[in-house]
Structure 1
Amino acid sequence: MGAEMLDWDKLLCDERIRTSTVVKDEHVTRNEFEADYDRIVGSSSVRRLQDKAQVFPLQKNDVVRTRLTHSMEVSAIARSLAKTVGLRLERMGIFDREKTEKLMGMLQTAGLIHDLGNPPFGHYGETVIRNWYQSKVVDVKRNLDKHYKTEQEDADFLYFDGNVQNLRIVTKLQTMNDRYGANFTYGTLASIIKYPYSSMTTTHPKHKFGYFKSEEEIMKSIWQHTGLSEGVRHPAAYLLEAADDIVYICDDIEDGVKKGYIPWNKEYDQIKQTFKENTIYQKLFERIDAKKADAGLGEREGLLAQVKLFRNYVQGHLIRTAVDSFFDHYEQIMNGEFGITDLLESDKELIKCLKKLTATYCFTCDEVLTLEIVGERTIKELLNIFYDAIHTSNVEVIEDSSKYEGKIYHLISDNYKYILTFDYKENKQKSLKDVNEYEKMHLIVDFVSGMTDSYAVSLYKKLLGISLPE
């Protein structure tokens, strides 16, 4: 790491795992990264985000954000960051306009897809999957063998993360014509890898990692084509992470105020008091306070207008922080020496304060806690049902739709089963009897984690006989 500078020509690699067969049209001026956006924006994976929770699950109105609206906002901010950075790199003589446009297309796509791998019920769903695997699989192995040591296959699920599942979705599961998934450019794939380690080599204190063992060869190919290596993030990944943070930190507060959980006037006064010695923040607050909502809006709309102003001004400030930080640490980033540090470090106390607001008023409200209980039971029961049916040695039973196990297997989407039985080494389909336990576990987690909040609850009710199929 740090032996040589990263090369933007490689970082903006627009080659694909499978060479594109699309005939170039002289009238189409989009670059390959913009093509990535166009090929995924209408996909089922993106559409499912509209029924996945950002903070508040199973909403029957459009008052608060879903994962889809969140991802659209991240996509927009990421593209803006890319343009600002790209234009500055042009002035430095490092970029030309074509590179700026490539970076913009890359980050617009990365922002849209960065949460595709999130399971039902948000980040809590990730915790449920991890805990379930611990008790259902690892604890059982340890009871049978006191000398048992965790293998990478186990670590992949013990530390399951939506970011990791994301890579699996876009390279395999979001099938279009074949086993290559969305067949994105190598540059786009590299930009969404937040933690460029395996589940066994990661040094992150919370055991964050970037790819499953099943995608190890894909990851090596990404590194080879982009000039990256284990532990070295793509520079665009820092901008993507900043865009995600900039959006959710303030948006979650706005949604909390809309739902009536956050007493904004009281908390805003407390924020100003907390940072009264910080002249930059005080000037920011003064500009916010100078913009008074029209009295004709009414009390509630006036309050929401003030929260939106706060969001917009703070987001603008954080965008400037991210860009300045990117260039302050440009040499470290391009040497692969910036590690997993984020670009918003100088605003960490303000960010901590804002996150605490959401944690205090939203994540502990009865609505969210109750739905998390529902989510935990739903995800655990679904995992149990599919695990108990599919992890059997009798393949004939699984393939027989007249048997219970066969009926359960039949419920799984065909594209997941197609990937399950594809032998990537031999480049051909294989028999179900040749599928190993790790691959079966992927099938189960792929299916359950890919569900929307509503579908997960609906299927859970039907399989437990609480409700009948329509």
Structure 2
Amino acid sequence: MSRMEWRKLLNGNRIRKSETLYVKKQRNEFDKDYERIIYSSSLRRLQDKAQVFPLQENDFTRTRLTHSLEVASLGQSIAWEIGIWLLEEKKIFKDFWQAKELASLVEVTCLVHDLGNPPFGHYGEDIIRSWFQNWFESDTFKEIQKKYIDNGDVPLNNQQMNDFKFFEGNAQAIRILSKLQFLNDEYGANFTLGSLATLMKYPWSSDHEYATSKKKFGYFYSERELFEKLKKEVGIGEQRHPATYLLEAADDIAYLTADIEDGVKKRAVPWEEIYSGTIKKFFGDNYPDHFTKLEEHRLKAIKNKVPNRELVGVQNFKVMAQGIMIEAVIDSFKENYESIMEGSFKGDLLENSSAKQLKEELVNISIEYCYKNTEVLTLELVGDRVLNELLNFFVDAVVKIDKKPKAKLREEKILHLVSANFRHIQTLKEGGPKIEINELSLYMRLLLVTDFISGMTDSYAVNLHQQLSGIKLP
């Protein structure tokens, strides 16, 4: 592994040269990425994708959008501290503007880190993976693949099949930003190479040994050329971009505390019981000064007869716990800086920090009271049926199109339910004429379906499923 260099890591180049006419010198290229995506439909869809509790009618519990905004705020703060350290103490950054670039890079990648998540969160990923695992082993697939081979297509290779069997929201986010968030051409939002490299949490393909063992990968077969460009121009390989560790830490800090807060609001987490037991013992033993302050806030709230005291209590705890973890993560990055830059660092910053035990305590609370909550489990089972049946419906139709569709046959009608933008993007051919839908390979047709279904919001998926099942009229 070669040592990474910040001059390449902070790469503001794009696949297609930017055509922006309005230029402000104080805006760096990562700030422009933020401005490109903040108005996008892909980001807006996150407001109806579950963080923990799906299909909520209240306006308090977090969605993927509010979670992403919180992660972006935390990530920017952490990155500023690291940037100033690299400038003033390490003397690696040459000026303030490089520190600003790092903060902007982490902020925008935190904002878009969940862009590729399908409906029903990480469970939605599991559903898609399981569906394709079964489908690729079926006689139906064997018959379909034979038909495509007879018509001149090549068999799906191992990487192409693994793209679906190990379907990964992070890889889908790369695909959205580099292709699917359509504006004028096949380059999507045309994000900077530095942002795309940072967003790639698992910089290897789906047929890599890491993917088969960890069930995680960073890019689809369709983006393999983009990955080669990132390797060459940004300097990542199988080693992560250093800013990826800051993104991951901000994500962990945000969800570890916020999920518990949402659980208290939903009355799934018995806060007073946990505070008097787990929190009191753990903080009293490990962070006595912090616990004293926390107890002062609690007693003050009781004295002043503050309404919703449990919610106020968990919010004070959240702020305190986040502060502890932020400080620990910054220290961890500094302590492991050399191995991070050399690509030999293992694990994540929080796991390798003084706050490791705090992380474990928070995870245990969330698992016990939030992720096993009856409402969460019930709605995830609803999602299981919805996504499985949508995949049955759309894959079956899309793979059968063998002539230019006119919306007369059943499968042609179903194809026209797929986003017109996604259909258009699949027919674009770089450096050549546009192709027709019926000329798409089997791999690209399957991608069209996963692009469409993974892009759905929770409510849209449920509503479309009900309409196609005849339960509800359009």
Please give the range of the TM-score, normalised by the shorter of the 2 chains.
Answer: over 0.9
Aligned residue in 1 for 2:326 = 319
- Identify which range, 117-126 or 342-351, moves more after superposition: 342-351
Aligned residue in 2 for 1:51 = 48
Residue 454 of structure 2 corresponds to residue 420 of structure 1? no
Q: Please give the per-residue CA displacement for 1:277-324, whole angstroms capped at 9, x wherever unaligned.
A: 843x33322222222343476465211111001100100110011100
1:47-86 alignment runs, 5 A limit = 47-86=44-83
Q: Residue 137 of structure 1: CA displacement?
A: 2.4
Q: Residue 269 of structure 1: CA displacement?
A: 2.7
Q: 3-state DSSP class of the match of 1:377?
A: helix
Aligned residue in 2 for 1:133 = 132
Determine which of 375, 378, 392 is the counterpart of 1:384: 392
1:374-453 alignment runs, 5 A limit = 374-392=382-400, 394-396=402-404, 399-424=405-430, 426-453=431-458
CA contact (8 A) 1:64 1:255 kept: yes
How far, CA to CA, are the matches of 1:214 and 1:427 in structure 2? 17
Determine which of 286, 291, 301 is the counterpart of 1:294: 301
Aligned residue in 2 for 1:222 = 230
Identity, in percent, stands at 44
Residue 364 of structure 2 corresponds to residue 356 of structure 1? yes
Q: Residue 87 of structure 1: CA displacement?
A: 0.7
CA contact (8 A) 1:195 1:340 kept: no
- TM-score, scaled relative to structure 1: 0.93
Residue 38 of structure 2 corresponds to residue 41 of structure 1? yes
Aligned AA (1:330): Y
Residues 407/348 of structure 1: CA separation in 2 closer, same or farther (3 Å cut): same
How far, CA to CA, are the matches of 1:276 and 1:371 in structure 2? 34
How far, CA to CA, are the matches of 2:284 and 2:297 in structure 1? 22
How far, CA to CA, are the matches of 1:366 and 1:373 in structure 2? 11
Q: 3-state DSSP class of the match of 2:62?
A: coil
Aligned AA (1:6): M
Aligned residue in 1 for 2:167 = 160
- TM-score, scaled relative to structure 2: 0.92
Aligned residue in 2 for 1:464 = 469
- Identify which range, 215-224 or 149-158, moves more after superposition: 149-158
Residue 282 of structure 2 corresponds to residue 285 of structure 1? no
CA contact (8 A) 1:233 1:339 kept: no
How far, CA to CA, are the matches of 1:82 and 1:176 in structure 2? 30
Aligned AA (2:131): W
Aligned residue in 1 for 2:11 = 13
Residue 106 of structure 2 corresponds to residue 101 of structure 1? no
How far, CA to CA, are the matches of 1:400 and 1:225 in structure 2? 44
- Identify which range, 348-357 or 442-451, moves more after superposition: 348-357
Aligned AA (1:175): F
Alpha-carbon RMSD across the aligned residues, in angstroms, is: 2.1
- Identify which range, 455-464 or 427-436, moves more after superposition: 427-436
Q: Please give the per-residue CA displacement for 1:49-72, whole angstroms capped at 9, x wherever unaligned.
A: 000000001111212000000000
CA contact (8 A) 2:203 2:240 kept: yes
Aligned residue in 2 for 1:113 = 112
Q: Residue 141 of structure 1: CA displacement?
A: 7.4
Aligned length: 459
Aligned AA (2:12): D
Aligned residue in 1 for 2:152 = none
How far, CA to CA, are the matches of 1:140 and 1:322 in structure 2? 50
CA contact (8 A) 2:249 2:348 kept: no
Residues 343/388 of structure 1: CA separation in 2 closer, same or farther (3 Å cut): same
Q: 3-state DSSP class of the match of 1:411?
A: coil
Q: Which runs of 5+ in 1 are unaligned?
A: none
How far, CA to CA, are the matches of 1:18 and 1:340 in structure 2? 34
How far, CA to CA, are the matches of 1:149 and 1:117 in structure 2? 23
Determine which of 184, 189, 202 is the counterpart of 2:191: 184
CA contact (8 A) 2:48 2:457 kept: yes
- Identify which range, 344-353 or 106-115, moves more after superposition: 344-353
Q: Residue 427 of structure 1: CA displacement?
A: 4.0
